[in-house]
Amino acid sequence: MKTTTSSTYLRATALACVALLAANAAHAQKATTLRLSTYVNEVDIRYEGFKKFAELVNTKTSGRVKVEVFGSSTLHGWSEGVDAMLGGVADISWVSADKRLPCYRVTSLYPVAIDMKKQLQLDAAYTALIAPEAAKAGLVPLINSNYSYDQEWWFKNNRTDLAKLDGKLVRSIGPLVSMMIETWGGKPVFIAPKEVFQSAERGVVDGINMGVATYSAWKLWGVMPHMVQSNLFYGNIQYMISKRKFDALSPADQKALQSAAAESEAWLKPKYEKWVDDSMADAVKQGGTVTTITADKRRALLSSVTGKWDTEVNAGCGPELANKVRTLFKENSL
């Protein structure tokens, strides 16, 4: 009798252990790792922002979702973000001017002087406008960038007039910047971030359009030290996530991911802006120069390109969405 009871107990215990192991295995299988691809390197303050995002995701999902950050374009090149996400090379990536996102392509950089006081709210409103287009391409907007704050110009010669580039070869990151360079008499040259240092050092380009943070992190002040600070852009080169990956998450984890993104943006903003300002001040101490254009000069430069670019915006977005985007930018301009 005792033997039977003991055997029954042992079998029950064994079954309980098997059930527990099965439950743990099932839980482990549900855990998701997301690969976040960025072109910024570990010196850049934005890398700290991505690490903060990863920490928040881990906390908010109780470890069910983890984010691995891959810097310095180690997963793919500048223009390959959409292909990388759709093909499974990356799960989250920056998205440059991709033709599969026609409205985003012509508005993620837009010629306007932005008032930065409500940037987070502006970025969120812009995201809402381009989200339907992103969904059709298999993507979900996730993290807003801070390009509006620091997309600027550098040249070999001090006090270069942006309106008179006189055939200078200037590095461009996309169609809007290329149009600007051509309008002002220069010749655009596309160069990926990792290749800019060598191009500047070897004289491949006479000028560079780039974000101050990226420029500083890649140590470019030493090869092209003269900056024109113009404040000519709304810029939001977004980080998006594969919709397939996003939809595979539970509703709770989707919400946690988006909450972590918004929280990390707010956390990074003051640190990012201070880092950019400190980088510029340090470059000046080392012999660099920063020339700030006047408000009248800014208006003239913007007027020379806005009309041309609005034609592209109308074609890329359609009249209704184009007007919504322009209205949003106008409401947040200086």
Q: What is the pLDDT along the chain (334 residues), one digit of tens a residue?
A: 455 555 555 455 555 554 455 445 444 457 899 999 999 999 999 999 999 999 999 999 999 999 999 999 999 999 999 999 999 999 999 999 999 999 999 999 999 999 999 999 999 999 999 999 999 999 999 999 977 789 999 999 898 999 999 999 999 999 999 999 999 999 999 998 889 999 999 999 999 999 999 999 999 999 999 999 999 999 999 999 999 999 999 999 999 999 999 999 999 999 999 999 999 999 999 999 999 999 999 999 999 999 999 999 999 999 999 999 999 999 999 9
pLDDT of residue 25: 46
Cβ atoms of 192 and 214 closer than 8 Å: no
- CA–CA distances in Å: residue 284 to residues 159, 212, 230, 294: 14, 13, 17, 20
Rounded to two decimals, what is the model's pTM? 0.89
pLDDT of residue 8: 56
HSE-CB for 293 with a 13 A CA cutoff? 22
Cβ atoms of 184 and 162 closer than 8 Å: yes
The gap from C-alpha 99 to its chain's centroid, in whole angstroms, comes to 17
Q: How far apart are CA 210 and CA 154, in angstroms?
A: 8
pLDDT of residue 230: 96
pLDDT of residue 22: 47
Q: How far apart are CA 207 and CA 171, in angstroms?
A: 6
The count of other CB atoms within 10 Å of the CB of residue 13 is: 10
